[in-house]
Amino acid sequence: MPVHHGAWLRYGEPLDDDEVQFAIDHYAVAVLQPWEHEALTRIKAARPDLITLCYKCLSSTRDYEHGSILSSGVGFDEAEEAGEHWFAHRLDGTTRILWDNYPGHWQMAVWDEEYRERWCDNVVDELEDSLWDGVLADNDVYDDYYGIQPPMEGGRDMPDLRTALDQLISAVGPRLNAAGKILVPNIAESHREPGRWERHAAFGGGFEEVWLAHGPNEYFDPETALVQASEVAGPGLTIMRVASDGTNEHRNFLYGLAAFWVFGGGNGGALTATAHDGYSATPFIEELDFDLGAPLEEPRRRGNGWSRAFERGFAALNMNSNKRRSVTFELPRALWQMNGSSPWPATVRLDPHEGVVFVRP
């Protein structure tokens, strides 16, 4: 049976039939907008094992969406009908907060218990008895990414917002689990708060949107990358997204995948590489379908280089920030002869932020 390790984060522009078939053929996880019922039905009919998650925003509502199937847990029209207290406001207590660079996205008062309860009711009711495997809960924010400019009304700052999101996650997670669904939040910058990843991933898994790098050429230092490394091992389903320039050829794709294997052993997760907000494509490299088998050892360190041998393969990466700090790795002897008459070398040299994933045919 084919093994897949790719994640399809596809909550941008409308889908087409070829993309859905490509997903069926190549991905382990798909995250789709909640109205993509036709694609969901087709995927589940062909690949019941393909984990398919419904996109929902924890922190905002969008004024351009109307009806009963929305990307937010609470719709704009419903929030307006409920009252102004469901919207977040600036210090004056009356001016709503519109997100920077995201037209129509309004910050919600996630600290309001009534709002959180309605968010839970709406999302659980929508997913119960559906084909969705669970929810990808976006914007489980850590810092001010959207121009909120705290303090907000009542003197609330980012720690207050994080506490409220803690409460929302801990409320909706058990309810989704009771309905047979998983909750996978986008746990932004969890490495800055010990224990946050484990708490928020406890109900099915977590999404790391900035795995190893903020941008295609903006890398975390080795110490920060190592703090992130434990995320790939769980708990639950871990979805890792590494920043790239939007092409499959960008070196970060292999860099992120090598870290996925070295630190996670290839189990329990899926990976992708995209440009910023590049969620309207089907990113893929053939190494995402490699089956390296079970690990033969714990991750092996060589300075800021890391490697790991597997039953049928080998993965290595160089986390160094210094551009002159290359690392040379010895490949297991069993992997020297691969792909018929084309031998792999006995050693491989990696420059900073490069990775390799080898597999026996």
Q: What single-letter amino acid sits at 210?
A: V
- Backbone φ and ψ for 295, nearest 5 degrees, come out as -70, 145
Q: Quick one: 273 and 148 in the same domain? A: yes
Q: Is the peptide bond before 235 cis (omega within 30 degrees of 0)?
A: yes
CATH number, domain with residue 14: 3.20.20.70
Q: Quick one: 282 and 319 in the same domain? A: no
In a domain, 355, yes or no: yes
Provide the residue-wise pLDDT of the chain in tens; the chain has 361 residues: 678 999 999 999 999 999 999 999 999 999 999 999 999 999 999 999 999 999 999 999 999 999 999 999 999 999 999 999 999 999 999 999 999 999 999 999 999 999 999 999 999 999 999 999 999 999 999 999 999 999 999 999 999 999 999 999 999 999 999 999 999 999 989 999 999 999 999 999 999 999 999 999 999 999 999 999 989 988 999 999 999 999 999 999 999 999 999 999 988 799 999 999 999 999 999 999 999 999 999 999 999 999 999 999 999 999 999 888 999 999 888 776 554 445 678 899 999 999 999 998 7
Half-sphere exposure of 188 (CA within 13 A, CB side): 17
In a domain, 189, yes or no: yes
DSSP state of 155: G
Q: Quick one: 137 and 257 in the same domain? A: yes
Q: Quick one: 164 and 106 in the same domain? A: yes
DSSP state of 256: H
pLDDT (0 to 100) of residue 338: 52
Q: Quick one: 200 and 333 in the same domain? A: no
Closest by CA position to 205, among listed 221, 183, 223, 231: 183
Q: What's the number of domains the chain is made of?
A: 2
Distances (CA, A) of 145 to 66, 100, 102, 107, 109: 25, 8, 11, 12, 16
Q: What is the DSSP string of 285-347?
A: -GGGG----SBSSS-EEETTEEEEEBSSEEEEEE--SSTT--EEEEPPGGGSB-STT-BPPSE
- Chain centroid, CA 37 distance in Å: 21
In a domain, 77, yes or no: yes
Reading the block at residue 142, the tokens are: 């850590």
In a domain, 333, yes or no: yes
CA dihedral 138→36→211→226, nearest 10 degrees, is 80
pLDDT (0 to 100) of residue 337: 56
Q: Quick one: 262 and 307 in the same domain? A: no
Q: Quick one: 210 and 294 in the same domain? A: no
Domain that holds residue 336: 290-361
Q: Quick one: 204 and 128 in the same domain? A: yes
Q: Quick one: 197 and 276 in the same domain? A: yes
In a domain, 1, yes or no: no
Which of 251, 271, 286 is at the close of a domain? 286
pLDDT (0 to 100) of residue 342: 54
pLDDT (0 to 100) of residue 361: 73
pLDDT (0 to 100) of residue 2: 79
Give the dihedral sign, CA 58/280/239/173: positive
Q: Which residues pair with 84 in a beta bridge?
A: none
Determine the Cα–Cα distance for residues 252 and 258; give it in Å rounded to an integer: 10
Determine the Cα–Cα distance for residues 313 and 344; give it in Å rounded to an integer: 12
Which of 222, 252, 286 is at the close of a domain? 286
Orientation angle between helical segments 17-26 and 37-46, nearest 10 degrees: 40
CATH number, domain with residue 321: 2.60.40
* pTM assigned to the model: 0.95
Q: Quick one: 225 and 202 in the same domain? A: yes
Q: Quick one: 65 and 127 in the same domain? A: yes
Which of 229, 255, 286 is at the close of a domain? 286
pLDDT (0 to 100) of residue 323: 84
Q: Quick one: 180 and 240 in the same domain? A: yes
